[in-house]
Structures are given as C-alpha cells and as structure tokens.
C-alpha cells in the first residue's frame, strides 16, 4: 500500500501521468505491489506560484527536468529490493516521460500496519 507524491517542474499533464505510471509500474515489478493499489498525488510546479529547488549534491548534476518522488509504504523491503526499485523508476521515467535518470530523486519512508487508514475511519491492516 504505497502512497506516492511526485513533484516535477512544469504542469504538463501528460508528463505527470507518465511519471505516475513509471513509479507505479516500478512498484509492481520490483516490490510486487498489486496493480490496483495506486494512490498518487502528482504536482507540477511552474516556478512562479510554486517551485522546486535543487543543487548538484554528491556530484549528480540536476536541471529543470528534476523529479522528486516520495513514497510512503509499510516496512519490510530489503536493501536490494529498494535499490531495484530506484533503478526501475529511473529507467521507466526515462522511457515513459523522457526524464533523464540523473534527474530522478527518490525517497522512501517506511511505517507499520497501524499507520494506515484506507477509508471508513478504520485501520484495515490491523487485525
């Protein structure tokens, strides 16, 4: 049950949709997330009303093609699974949206079953 937030420069709906598909497909391929388990917030930033800031941290040159992907999910994935996820997101972001892999910045935040309510005011993952 990942919850995904994607922030990108520009407000082009097709690019945001392509980035959303890239992240979702990577999640299903690398972590086995069910295909119908998609919860995403996709936000384009125009540089006037909202903006993204970045530098060349750790020698990675980023530019206006930057995409920030924040994924919240239940804990339990191995380091190898996370690394595979990062690689696949970058590959699919390039394939689907033309985003250079160097511009794909991903963070994962893990939590527990009790940290989710999927509706009706219930904690569905808690027995």
The confidence score (pLDDT) of residue 49 equals: 78
Residue 34 catalytic?
no
The confidence score (pLDDT) of residue 72 equals: 97
The confidence score (pLDDT) of residue 7 equals: 96
| Cα(81)–Cα(60) distance, integer angstroms | 22
Residue pLDDT tens, the chain, 127 long: 799 999 998 878 999 999 999 999 999 999 999 999 999 999 999 877 787 888 888 889 898 899 999 999 999 999 999 999 999 999 999 999 999 999 999 999 999 989 998 899 999 889 7
Which DSSP category does 57 fall into? G
For residue 20, the number of C-alpha atoms closer than 13 Å in the C-beta half-sphere is 18
The confidence score (pLDDT) of residue 15 equals: 95
């Amino acid at each position: 049950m990942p919850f995904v937030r994607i922030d990108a420069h520009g407000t082009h709906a097709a690019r945001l949709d392509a980035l959303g598909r890239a992240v979702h497909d990577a999640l299903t391929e690398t972590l086995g997330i069910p295909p119908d388990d998609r919860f995403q917030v996709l936000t384009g930033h125009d540089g006037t009303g909202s903006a993204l800031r970045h530098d060349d941290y750790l020698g990675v040159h980023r530019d206006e093609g930057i995409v920030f992907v924040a994924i919240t999910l239940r804990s339990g994935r191995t380091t190898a699974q996370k690394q595979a996820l990062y690689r696949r997101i970058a590959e699919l972001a390039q394939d689907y949206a033309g985003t250079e892999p160097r511009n794909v910045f991903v963070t994962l935040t893990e939590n527990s079953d009790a940290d989710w309510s999927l509706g009706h005011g219930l904690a569905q993952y808690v027995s």
